[in-house]
Structure formats: structure tokens, C-alpha cells
Amino acid sequence: MLKALDSVDFASLQYSLEYAAKNSPFYREKFMKDNINVDKIRSKEDFQNVPFSDKHDLHKVYPLGLQAVPDEDVVRVHSSSGTTGNPVIIPYTKEDVEDWGIMFARCYEMAGITKRDRLQITPGYGLWTAGIGFQAGCEKLGAMAIPIGPGNTEKQLKIMVDLQSTVLCATSSYALLLAEEVKKRGLRDKINLQRGIIGSERWGDLMRKRISDELEIELFDIYGLTEIYGPGIGIDCEKHEGIHYWDDFFYFEVIDPDSGKVLPEGEFGELVITTLKKAAAPLIRYRTHDLTRIIPHKCSCKRPYPLIDRIIGRTDDMIKVKGVNIYPGQIEDALSRTKGLSSEYQVILENIDGKDKMTLKVEVQDRADKDQVIAEILHTFKSKIGIRIFCQCVEIGELPRSEKKSKRVYDHRYK
């Protein structure tokens, strides 16, 4: 079940591996330490023995330990936000910058954007990769960039009206904020927005629907991370069946985050990316900590690029019950299939006589049939996730809310 790799020319993967081993001080040392002889990696099975790289490893070689080309070939650096300690600095050659622009322009085309569009770019400009990536792709495509950057809602709305922006590039939370302001001020008839290119955070269907309803626009999920160029390494098309990714630039694998084993297509796990063309900072089997799956069939749009599913969470959010990995996105999906529930839930994990027990608390509307709700949820978990759970109904508003991310999982198993 390694069809994704079959579609990638193994030679390009091998080239990337040899390139990294030869030129990147980071990989040279890593492969030596782990006793990896790249000349012996002759097949896709062999490739699965190549060790992963992680953000943690990249921190250790701050500032420029990833640089695999001479200084004179580096034209730019970006950095990912360092939540603790040093950030990760990613250098780019002229070709890397060019390639990123090509990928980003491809994203825009995939979303139906043309030269006649006007893109209001609200992600930030600076050391991190967001704004400048949106800008480069826009110029490559030949559309009009409005590089306004984040914040200053007054100015955003004025520009949106005066310049008749047709595309909003934003994070989901900022798009929602602008959508609410547009509604509050009754500006919908004065603006000309048609599409939203939304990236950088995981966002649920509820939020998606609110943004698209209030602004009356079609939304596209753009994917990417600073360590791998930045945003623009994939996006959904007008069919919205998943996120197309550029398999001429990357090799994607999905692994079990616990065991590190490559999972068959269709199964959810952690996305691992190998760059095929990146010169200044190649990455081999880089663990993204993003949870998704490779969709095992082609998109109905018939484009050649393969699909991954929407990002359903981060590995840190994953829970393991009775040997089954469960992700918050799967629980939210199960809840959204059942009528009469709020979006709030709580998971209680216990160990009773050596066996895991998972209880899901959900908020049920007064008029809903509670027995019916419980039966539906148990069935969804059994059939979709493959696990038997217990379900408990509480009144709407009974589960705690918090301004920050609510704590939803209470694991009492190992105490």
C-alpha cells in the first residue's frame, strides 16, 4: 500500500537524499550518527529506515546549521516562531524562492484566481513566511497584490471597499473577525469579495460556514509550514474533496506518531514530508506533527496532484485508547453528524480492571431524544473509529467554556 511513492519517481527521492547527505551539515552529521549509508537506500522499503527529522533537531543547529549551499547562493532567510528558545532559521536560494512562487501561483490557479483578481493579503510580512509568500505567488500569477498585512480593521474595510478586493487572504480567525465587521456595518453590498484563501490554523466546519455565509465567498484551505518553504505547498480545489499537494516538489508519508511506522493510504496519522528540490535547506522525512491522511483516490476534478485530507489536529492532541489513535477532529466530526448537539464535549479516560474505558460527555438540546443521540454516537464511533465507547448526555451549557482553548480530555488512567 505505497501507491503514493510509486507515483513519485524514486530517483528524485534518492537524489534528494544524496544531496542532503553531501551538502547539508545537519544531515551529514545525523546520518553519520545514525549509521545511515545513503548509497544503500535503493528502494522505498529502504527509505523507511531513514531517520525522521524534527523541529527539535532543527533548533539544535541554530542559526544556520541547515544551510546546504555556499553563502553567496543564499538570497533570503525566514524563521519559524520559536515558542521556546531559538527559532528555526531556514535559508533559501534564488531557485527555492522561485519554486515557492511557482507553487503559490499554482495554489491561486487551483482556487480559480486569475490575473484580473485583487488580493487583499492580511497575513504578516517579516521573518516568518506568510505575507511574502502570498505576495510572491500573486505577482507570479499576475494578479494585483494589496499587501496590507494584519490588523487595523478600519483600514482593512476601507481598502476592501475602495479597491474592490476580490480575494481575502487571511487566517481563519482574522477572516471571521472581518466577516463579522462586514456584517455589523452592513458592508456586504459595497464589497466585491468572491474568494477566501485561508491558512495557518485548524478550523472547524462551523467556523468555515460562518465566514462563507457572512461574506458570501468560497473558501479554500491553503497548507504549508515555514520549515518547508511556507504556506502554498497544497490547497483544495473547487471540488473541496481534500488538499491537493505538489508531488513534483515533495514526497508525503503518513506515519503512526507512536510507532513511526508508515501507515497505509487512507489511515489518519502524522504527515511526514521530504523535499525533492529544496537546495538551501533540504529536509528529509520531516515530522510536521500535523494529523491527516493520504486520500487513496484521485480528486473528481481530474487534476494529477494527489490529495491529503484537511488537517484534523496536532499529534500533541492525540489520545490513544485500547490501542486506537483518536484525534479531536474525528470526535468533532462524529458530533457534527449527530443532530441536537452543541460543539462542546468532554472525554473521560479511565482504566478499569486493566482495560481502557472512554466516556464521551456531550451537550444535548432539550427537545432531542437522548437515547437516540447516544445510540447514534456509539454507532459512529464503532463504525468510523472502530472503538466501543460510553456516552453521557448533559444539558447545553453544562460543560465548562474558557476563552482560551478548553480542556476537553481528562485522562485518569495512569494516576
Residues at the interface with Zn ion (CB under 5 A): 237, 239, 299, 301
Nearest approach, Cβ of 244 to Zn ion (angstroms)? 6
Nearest approach, Cβ of 307 to Zn ion (angstroms)? 7
CB atoms under 10 Å from CB of 412, counted, come to 10
Nearest approach, Cβ of 100 to Zn ion (angstroms)? 21
Pairing relation of β-strands 390-395 and 355-364? parallel
Sign of dihedral through CA atoms 50, 55, 60, 62?
positive
Q: How far is it, in rounded angstroms, from Cα 306 to Cα 295? A: 8
Q: How far is it, in rounded angstroms, from Cα 127 to Cα 37? A: 35
CB of 247 or CB of 332, closer to Zn ion: 247
Nearest approach, Cβ of 272 to Zn ion (angstroms)? 23
Q: How far is it, in rounded angstroms, from Cα 80 to Cα 66? A: 14
Strand, helix or coil for residue 10: helix
CB of 69 or CB of 308, closer to Zn ion: 308
Nearest approach, Cβ of 339 to Zn ion (angstroms)? 30
CB of 295 or CB of 301, closer to Zn ion: 301
Nearest approach, Cβ of 359 to Zn ion (angstroms)? 39
Nearest approach, Cβ of 59 to Zn ion (angstroms)? 36
Let me know: does 221 contact 245? Beta carbons within 8 Å. Answer: no
CA R_g for the chain: 23
DSSP, res 405? P
Question: Order of strands across the sheet with 218-225?
Answer: 144-146, 118-121, 167-171, 195-199, 218-225, 230-236, 243-245, 307-308
Query: Dihedral (C-alpha) 223, 226, 232, 233: value to the nearest 10 degrees?
Result: -70
CB of 239 or CB of 379, closer to Zn ion: 239
CB of 237 or CB of 279, closer to Zn ion: 237
CB of 187 or CB of 295, closer to Zn ion: 295
CB of 141 or CB of 299, closer to Zn ion: 299
